[in-house]
Amino acid sequence: MLRLRTTIELLRHFVDSRRWFLLPLLLVLLLSSVLLVLTGGLSYVAPFVYALF
C-alpha cells in the first residue's frame, strides 16, 4: 500500500515532465521493483539484476 503511493507519485512525475520516451524503460523498471517487493528485498534478486538489464 505504501509503495503504491510512491508508484503513483513516480508516474505522475514522468507524465508531468513529459518524458514519454522513458515510459517503456520505466515500465520495465516498475516490473522489476514489483519483483523486489514480492521477494522482500534486493538480496533475493541480486544474482538476477545483471541478467535483467
Partner 1 sequence: MSVVLGVSALYHDAAVALVIDGELRGALQQERVSRLKGDPRLPIAAAHAVLAAAHMTAADLDAVVFYENPFARLEHVLVSTLRGFPQTLRQFPRAMAAQLSQKLWVKDELAAGLGIDRTRIHHDEHHRSHAASAYFASGAQTAAVLCVDGVGEDTCTSVWRGDGTSLRLLSRQLFPHSVGLFYAAITAWLGFRVLEGEQQVMGLAALGSPTKLAAMERLARINVDGSIELDLSCFAHHYDHTLGFSAGFVKVFGPPRRPGKAWVLDDQGVPVDAADRHYADVAASAQHHTEAMLLALAQHARSLCPDVDTLCLAGGVALNACANGILSQRSGFARVFVQPAAGDAGGALGAAWNFGRSRGDVPRPLAHAAWGPALTAAMMVPLATACGLVSQPVVPAEVVARLWRGQVLALVDGRSEFGPRALGHRSLLAAPGPRRVQDHINTAIKRREPFRPFAPAVLRDDAAAYFDHVTDDLGRFMTGVSTTKTAWRETLGAVTHHDGTARVQCVDEHAPHLHALLQAAQAAGHPPVLLNTSLNGRREPICQGAVDVVRFLLAHPDVNGVVVDDVLLTRPS
Footprint of partner 1 (CB under 8 A)? 2-3, 5-6, 9-10, 13-14, 17, 19, 22, 25-26, 29, 32-33, 36, 41-42, 46, 49-50, 52-53
Q: How many CA atoms lie within 13 A of 13 on its CB side?
A: 8
Q: Cβ atoms within 10 A of the Cβ of 50, count?
A: 7
Please state the closest distance from residue 7 (CB atom) to partner 1, in A: 9
Please state the closest distance from residue 21 (CB atom) to partner 1, in A: 8
Cβ–Cβ under 8 Å, residues 11 and 19:
no
Please state the closest distance from residue 31 (CB atom) to partner 1, in A: 11
